[in-house]
Structure 1
Amino acid sequence: MIRGIRGAITVKENNANEMVANTKILLDEMIEKNEIVPENVVQVLITTTEDLDAVFPARAMRMLDGWTYVPVMCMREIPVVNSLEKCIRIMMTVETDIPQDQIDHIYLEGAIVLRPDLSMNK
């Protein structure tokens, strides 16, 4: 079965090191909680809010062993008035046997406000 796994994290500054570090924290958590192996990943879409342009956050994925051939694309979130700032979002499409209601979507730091219902520990 193909499933989408969502995640988001915020950063304090538009800083390349912080963006890559926080994106890696988010990816690590998504991978661990959902037992993801790179061979089962169809694609990874990463978005940033308009106030983040210091680096492509996909650089963090290239730091992970075995993820060299996983397709990844970065893009910009639409600029919705009063939306969460300095936010990096990930949509990972994976092949998994985990039922949809058992997928762990990961929201960290200030991004917890996006989906508090999914941020609770299962």
Structure 2
Amino acid sequence: MIRGIRGATTVDENSEKLILEETEMLLKEIIKENKLEAEQVASVLFSVTEDLTACFPAKAMRAIDGWKYVPVMCTREIPVPESLSLCVRVMMHVNTSKSQQEINHIYLRNAISLRPDLAETEKE
């Protein structure tokens, strides 16, 4: 079965270095918390808020050993007034036998405000 794993993080400014560092950290946390291997991943969709233009966040995945062939795509978020700024979001489509409740969605930095119910470190 394919399940979606969500994640998001924020950066302090529109900088390629920061976007790549924070995205790589987010990806590594998703991988670790869900015990993933690249072969399980069907595709990954990255989105950014319109204030992030310095680079494609998908480039961060190429820095992770063994993840070179995972299909990735980047897109821009809908610019909703007063929404969280400087934000990178990830939707990873994963082949897994885990239930939805067993999936660990990862929200870091200011992105915790997007889903505080899923950002808790311990599952109930």
Shorter-chain TM band: over 0.9
Partner amino acid, structure 2, of 1:69: Y
Q: Distance in 2 between matches of 1:61 and 1:48?
A: 15
Instruction: Decide which structure has greater helix share.
Output: 1
| 1:74 paired residue number | 74
Aligned length: 122
| 1:33 paired residue number | 33
Q: Is 2:4 aligned against 1:4?
A: yes
Deviation at 1:11, TM superposition (A): 0.2
Instruction: Give per-residue Cα distances to partners, 1:41-90, cap 9 Å, x unaligned.
Output: 00000000000000001110001111111000011001001000000000
Q: Is 2:11 aligned against 1:16?
A: no
Q: Is 2:119 aligned against 1:85?
A: no
Partner amino acid, structure 1, of 2:107: Y
| 1:97 paired residue number | 97
Aligned partner of residue 113 in structure 1, secondary structure: helix
Q: Distance in 1 between matches of 2:13 and 2:81?
A: 20
Aligned partner of residue 117 in structure 1, secondary structure: coil
Aligned partner of residue 44 in structure 1, secondary structure: strand
| 1:46 paired residue number | 46
Structure 1 segments of 4+ aligned residues over 2 angstroms from their partners: none
Aligned partner of residue 54 in structure 2, secondary structure: coil
| 2:60 paired residue number | 60
Partner amino acid, structure 2, of 1:120: E
User: So what's the TM-score if we normalise by structure 1?
Assistant: 0.98
Gaps of at least 5 residues in structure 2 are none
Instruction: Give per-residue Cα distances to partners, 1:12-41, cap 9 Å, x unaligned.
Output: 000000000000000000000001100010
Cα RMSD for the two superposed structures: 0.5
Q: Distance in 2 between matches of 1:42 and 1:13?
A: 31
User: So what's the TM-score if we normalise by structure 2?
Assistant: 0.97
Deviation at 1:97, TM superposition (A): 1.5
